[in-house]
Amino acid sequence: MADPRAELKGICTRALFERVLAAVRTRHGALDRLIVTGDLTHDEQLATYESLRELLLPWLPRLRLIPGNHDHRERMRQAFPERIQPLGQRNVFVEDVGGWRLLGLDSHVPGELHGRLGDEQRAWLDEQLTAHPGPAVVFLHHPPILVGSQWLDRITLQDAPELLALVRRHANVRAVVCGHVHQERTVAEPPAMIFTSPSTGVQFRTETISLEVDPVPPGFRVLELHPDGRIVSWVERVP
Ligand SMILES: [Fe+2]
């Protein structure tokens, strides 16, 4: 949030984000890409995006970002003009790193908490996967799976069945990596794995009817993408 001391559910999100970022630098300073899957802001203010850019400045050449539900596409572009690839209104990315294709999707729906990719963006994804015969990872904010919490499963990805059908048609997709649910999940959706990641701020308790804060520390997910197409992934917490 624009106010650096602002709290969400009793947690100063800025302070925790800085702590998580410091741990990433200490533990994985040589990583190839840092991918932020949203929500990038809670208040959607330009000042918040500018502060985020300042915090991420050392990572900028290796940084990729996609929006979540609590985001503003135009302000995100204003703050990170050189890091965003526009696809119509949407903020996406595609990049090949070490033989792997990394694809970032934009599931943002203005004014809504749920997500949607839409026909055009799924057609674009289809083309990008067809054009690259090697292994690929797809990133998007809203997971295309249910997590068993009623309040979260009401604000999920609306065209999840279409995305999963597309992923099943492309055997080169090794993983789909998401945020949004503020909790760690690993679900096999052959041939891909679906991974969700913890938040850098407040964590949500699993399998609840309404929002409950989980006192577990914040964290991040690591992806090891091997040249032979193997993927190894785990979550690290930052006390
Ligand atoms: Fe979200």
Cα 25 to ligand 1 centroid, rounded to whole Å: 25
The CA 211 to ligand 1 mean position distance, Å, reads: 13
Q: How far is the CA of 239 from the centre of ligand 1 (A)?
A: 23
Distance in Å, CA 181 to ligand 1 centroid:
7
Residue 76 Cα, ligand 1 centroid: separation in angstroms? 15
pTM: 0.97
Q: How far is the CA of 26 from the centre of ligand 1 (A)?
A: 27
Could you tell me the distance, in angstroms and rounded to a whole number, from the CA of residue 99 to the centre of ligand 1? 30
**Ligand 1 centroid to residue 113 C-alpha, Å:** 7
Q: Which two tokens stand for residue 76?
A: 């995100």
Q: What separation in Å is there between the alpha carbon of 212 and the centre of ligand 1?
A: 15
Q: Domains of the chain by range and CATH?
A: 7-237 (3.60.21.10)
- Residue 128 phi, psi (nearest 5): -65, -35
Peptide bond between residue 39 and the one before it cis (omega within 30 degrees of 0): yes
CA of 9 to the centre of ligand 1 (A): 15
> pLDDT in tens for each of the 239 residues of the chain?
999 999 999 999 999 999 999 999 999 999 999 999 999 999 999 999 999 999 999 999 999 999 999 999 999 999 999 999 999 999 999 999 999 999 999 999 999 999 999 999 999 999 999 999 999 999 999 999 999 999 999 999 999 999 999 999 999 999 999 999 999 999 999 989 999 999 999 999 999 999 999 999 999 999 999 999 999 999 999 99
Ligand 1 mean position to 73 CA, how many Å? 14
Q: How far is the CA of 153 from the centre of ligand 1 (A)?
A: 12
Question: Beta strand 63-65 with 85-87: parallel, antiparallel or unpaired?
Answer: unpaired
| Rounded Cα–Cα distance for residues 2 and 108 (Å) | 21
The Cα–Cα gap between 16 and 6 comes to 12
